Structure 1
Amino acid sequence: MIGFDADDTLWRSQDYFDQAQLDFERIVGRYVDLGDARLHERLYEIEKNNIGVFGYGVKGMTLSMIEAAVAITGQRIAAADLHRIVELGKDLLRHPVEMLPGIPEAVAAIAADFEIVLITKGDLFHQEAKVKQCGLADLFRRIEIVSEKDAGTYARLLREFGLPAAQFAMIGNSLRSDIAPVLDLGGWGIHMPYHTTWAHETEAEVAADAPRLRRVAGAAELPQAVRELARAAQAA
């Protein structure tokens, strides 16, 4: 069985968050010197601390931006600018699904030979909407939207699938969420980096020569990488 991540693996996502970050900094920059405020770092600290309360996704980011704006400006930020931050969040929720190049073809090719599942995290309503729009939902045996992607979550899903970890491979852009937990369980991973990644998702290390890991540069390489892992898993 092959698992796919969604955001920045099947479709663009982080680009929109990065743009919202820049727009947020422009709003708060009317009140403080951005060079002295460590705005990017302070927003990330607040977002990270709020994950356990708000979870992942746009709504958590928006609430964290509001909290950061109030704190950084010493509560001087105007209500109109807080409303602008809320609108940034709404724009993120409304953005269209833009599939990454070659992904529809790669997913279809892999689905022709293997059972595939989609495992993603984030806001439930937002992720459901994106899955519906992507046009690939019918190819997946299961679609799982989870609150966290760690070893415990993958272990639970594998029990539900009735599948040992050694017969499961995960494809994704995040070493922290898509690759490291599955390798720790004895599964396989295919890392397809995206050109921009949220700092939280970079907080993991996987050896470049990990024997159950393959790295690809883009979607066109995925079917061959999956076939190679399947042969390696069969030999093991």
Structure 2
Amino acid sequence: MLQSPLLEVPHGFTTRAGGVSPAPFESLNLGLSTADNPSNVLENRRRVLALFGNPPLAGLCQVHGNQVHVVETAGEWEGDGLLTSTPGLLLRVSVADCYPILLHDPRKGVVGALHAGWRGVVSGILPRALEIMQSHWGSHPDDIRVAVGPGISGPHFQVGPEVLERFERAGLAFAEPDPRHPGKYLLDLERALRAQAQQGGIRPDHYWALGRCTYADPAFFSHRRDQGQTGRMWALIMLPKNGRAG
């Protein structure tokens, strides 16, 4: 379980190690939507949730958009972001190339988890979450910590001109031509997220990115690298019930 030095609450980004699933889902596959045996996935989930003390879990049916929900109880919502101020409620998002983003406002006692693929980035899921934190809880950008987990890096994320055009319109075209494939581009989603965080008032020292690529690093599942035959990882965060980081 990987962690960010910025976040002082229980949280983590899973890797593919530590589970029971066989190849090509080896080994900590947490995705029931895969072709893995569901009993393997449930055991893997049990192991991860046990690390957090088996709290109630809030999750998502992810749709690659910018819908962010404020939640107070366990359950599943359609969208790509969750925010809560409820201690003891564990938030999770599922990824396998898209970027997981964890948020924490220690002053107001708010945490969040976002799923950001290219559609979520260009449609502004991170700015949307920051806006909700400010409008719903009165969070100030100076207090919010943003931690970005593993995702597909620019050198490995090839897109066509139609995708690049959407990022250009949003002012987020951190891309360069793919030298091996004329007419294609290599798009850096993490740089776009960093720019959105800065535009949203997040202090540079309150933004952290793991900087590891799911496509290039075999420690992670990658939907693109493995042509869809792969597992899923989770990013998780919660406010401790006792009010301490633990």
TM-score normalised to the size of structure 2? 0.30
> Which of the two has greater strand per residue?
2
TM-score w.r.t. the length of structure 1 is 0.31
Q: Which structure is higher in helix share?
A: 1
Flag the structure with larger Rg.
1
